[in-house]
A and B are shown apart, each in its own frame.
Chain A
Amino acid sequence: MQAAEREIAENIIRISGVNPRKCMKCGKCSGTCPAFNDMDIHPHQFVSMVEKGKIKELMKSKSIWTCLSCFACVERCPRNVEPVKLIEAARLSVIRRQGENHLKADEIPALLDENIPQQAIVSAFRKYSK
């Protein structure tokens, strides 16, 4: 049986170490996010939705796979909220479930070209699979 939405929200706050209530909704994280145009839910909305406990929508969002972990939102947040850590925690809430990996090992060979560095494969696998 799947955990209740409220329990997943509490877990996301716990494992991320983020307090979404610190957010003053200035939107700087979304303004600086290099993946903004490729996200359906943007970083500032993400913070607010975790605060409100709307976790299932976040777990279905495209944004958890397009966040680049570039830490621009961390560096530029005037309140030190660290939105990237909430996005990571939501992603982990998905891939830590049986059969929910976003990238599977047998898909990898078709995605490679001869110059792709190991670093790319290792990091994608760490981000998208458990």
Chain B
Amino acid sequence: MIYSYYPGCTLRTKAKDLDEYARKSAEVLGINLEELPDWQCCGAVYPLAQDEIATRLSSVRALASAGSLGRDLVTLCSACHHVIKRVNNDMKTNQDIRMKVNNYLEPDKEYAGETKVIHFLELLRDVVGFDELKKKVVNPLTGRKIGAYYGCLLLRPGDEMQFDNPENPAIMEDFIRSIGATPVVYPYRNECCGGYVSITEKSLSQKKCNTIVSSAAEKGADEIITACPLCMYNLDTNSTERKLPVRYFTELLAEALGVK
């Protein structure tokens, strides 16, 4: 099956590893990711006000474009996934937003949230299946103790994201098991790293990241995985007390599949 793939701005620049290892792994797993033509930046934050229309347009363009090809839309960056999935929900459920966006974009066929948005981790869980993934692992990461960092954007709000249990998720731990490593569950895995505040209030992000990284280290993790370039930056740069290596989950996937 062919999927439309939305890489997003950061995967072309600072987060090339997140993108490149996902593409290589997808090939091994028989997933055909075809990059969406002419995609635009999603804006990185979901516009919370109901009268924000312009900030929703790039997501709708991507959604409608995948829809016109008859394909599901696969995302990889947590922020892109969050923004595109929630804008899609608006197009499905909010008549005022749907009307204004369609009036402006004038698409051939009115867009009303028909495209399915799938995060790469959901693809591994729901399409490939973690049991099948396990069979394709040629280099199991035996003995590695890995803490999954979920952050905020993949999980919350749970009723819109429908990703996993927002307070007690399991998808990344199941992923870690499927590549032969040992997951380490720690209390702060779904608490915020500080996000964009690190630009203007670095000390706030430092406090958050120190708590998260110490929490993972105290529970025995030797490394942390994430799906978000901003979480990666914050956990890496703004943890000042204790350091753990932070990697994208796709890098470990590629390693296990022998394509790193």
Contact = CB atoms under 8 A, between A and B. Distances in A.
A35 B43 CA distance: 23
B41 A122 contact: yes
The A contact surface, by secondary structure, is helix
A103 interface: yes
B44 A119 contact: yes
Interface in B150-172: 152, 155-158, 166-167
A103 B45 CA distance: 16
Contacts of A117: 10, 13-15, 229-230, 232-233
Interface string A99-124: 00011000000010101111111111
Contacts, number: 129
Given A69-B195, A117-B230, A126 B55 contact: yes
A16 B50 contact: yes
B127 to A, nearest CB: 26
A119 B201 contact: no
Interface residues of B, number: 46
A111 B197 contact: no
A126 B45 CA distance: 7
Interface in A71-115: 71-72, 74-75, 84-85, 88-89, 92, 102-103, 111, 113, 115
Given A71-B152, A122-B43, A103 B230 contact: no
Contacts of A61: none
B51 interface: yes
Interface string A33-69: 0110110000000000000000000000000011011
Interface of A: 14-17, 34-35, 37-38, 65-66, 68-72, 74-75, 84-85, 88-89, 92, 102-103, 111, 113, 115-124, 126-128
